[in-house]
Amino acid sequence: MKCDGAGEARMLDKNKKILIVGLGMIGGSYAMALKRLGYSVSAITRSPSTVEWATEHKIIDKGFCTVDPEAVAEADIAVFALYPHTFVEWIRENQHLFKSGALITDVTGVKGSITGTVQGMLRRDLEFIAAHPMAGRERSGVRFSDDGVFKNANYIVVPTERNTPEAIETCKALGRTVGFSNISVLSPEKHDEMIAFLSQLTHCIAVALMCSNDDPTIKNYTGDSFRDLTRIARINDEMWSELFLANREKLLCQMDRFSESFEKLRRALEERDADTMRSMMRQSSERRAEFDK
């Protein structure tokens, strides 16, 4: 687990040909960033209207709605921005099309259950290095692509012992090139623990909060705090339920830790124990202040 030093700032080799598989909001934002810098970018994605939109808006050079063998064979680096199970299936069915030495990476939100599976089934002359861009939007689809979301955001490279130092460096360079400000390295185990807390638990909270009150007039009385806290309550249910299930045990554990802490605050309020409430508030303030430095 380490962060980028100031000295290390290699960008991706300009001649690398990039293939994006799955052109949603994140895949589209990668394409946008890379195309802007002059890289050759092609894409494979399901919907013809996505290909049309992306070509018209010049965020890709070429796009295909089916697995085009030539497009796959040309790629030096392929970025997979699919649902976890679709990614695994795609590799199983189409990995024979890659040229020898191609590097595969992804943007999947869970790692433990995916990375081993993909690395285990991959041809010996290919390499898969997992990555997680900590950026997104509460809207999905290529039309919401915006490479501005990578600015000041965190990018996590998630190697295993099967990865080469070269692939790790290239993956970091990719993150830096598309515009991430802070590049870190974590093991799949640690990544999934971190993401259960930082991303999945927060989505659980926002969803549970919105589901706990059906008063339609609340929008007349909200302040920023409620709006900020529930922004992520607009959620792609198909993708997130899959991500939750793929990281089930770690997420359950984080949910229980949160419930315990919430219950402690509730008990303090019930018992009119202002000291405990205030000490929790001071602790949360101190910890949160670290993020604003």
Cβ-based nearer residue to a copy of itself, 174 or 201: 201
Q: Write down how long the chain is.
A: 293
Site for a copy of itself contains 81 (CB under 8 A): no
- Tell whether residue 5 is a contact of a copy of itself (CB under 8 A): no
Q: Are 135 and 150 in contact (CB under 8 A)?
A: yes
Candidates 31, 118, 134, 174; binder of a copy of itself (CB under 8 A) is: 134
Strands 40-44 and 62-64: parallel
Q: Is 144 in the site for a copy of itself (CB under 8 A)?
A: no
We find the least distance from the C-beta atom of residue 146 to a copy of itself, in angstroms, to be 12
Of 49 and 222, CB closest to a copy of itself = 222
The DSSP symbol for 10 reads: P
Pick 124 or 219: Cβ nearer a copy of itself = 219
Q: What is the Rg, in whole angstroms, of the alpha carbon atoms belonging to the chain?
A: 21
Distances from the Cα of 26 to the Cα of 11, 33, 204, 210, angstroms:
20, 11, 21, 25
Out of 135, 157, 178, 246, point to the residue binding a copy of itself (CB under 8 A). Answer: 135
- The CA dihedral of 90, 49, 239, 138, to the nearest 10 degrees, is 140
Any contact of residue 6 with a copy of itself (CB under 8 A)? no
CB proximity list for 99: less than 8 A, separation 6 or greater: 73, 74, 75
Q: How far is the CB of 50 from a copy of itself (least distance, A)?
A: 21
Is 261 an interacting residue with respect to a copy of itself (CB under 8 A)? yes
3 is a site residue for a copy of itself (CB under 8 A): yes
Q: Kindly tell me which of 96 and 272 has the beta carbon lying closer to a copy of itself.
A: 272
Of 22 and 136, CB closest to a copy of itself: 136
Q: Kindly state the number of chain residues that form the binding site for a copy of itself, as judged by CB under 8 A.
A: 95
For 241, residues 6+ apart whose C-beta sits below 8 A from its C-beta are none
- Give the number of other Cβ atoms within 10 Å of residue 72's Cβ: 21
Q: How far is the CB of 6 from a copy of itself (least distance, A)?
A: 15
Residue with structure tokens 């909001």?
25
Cα–Cα distance between 175 and 185 in angstroms, integer? 12
Question: What is the rounded CA–CA span in Å between residue 262 and residue 159?
Answer: 35
Task: Choose which of 26, 60, 173, 201 interacts with a copy of itself (CB under 8 A).
Answer: 201
Within residues 161-200, the interface with a copy of itself by CB under 8 A covers 182, 184, 186, 194-195, 197-199
65/280 with CB nearer a copy of itself:
280
122 belongs to the binding site for a copy of itself (CB under 8 A)? no
Residue number with CB closer to a copy of itself (71 or 206) = 206
* Token pair of 233 as six digits: 């309550």
Q: Is 280 in the site for a copy of itself (CB under 8 A)?
A: yes
Confirm if 107 and 27 have CB atoms less than 8 A apart: yes
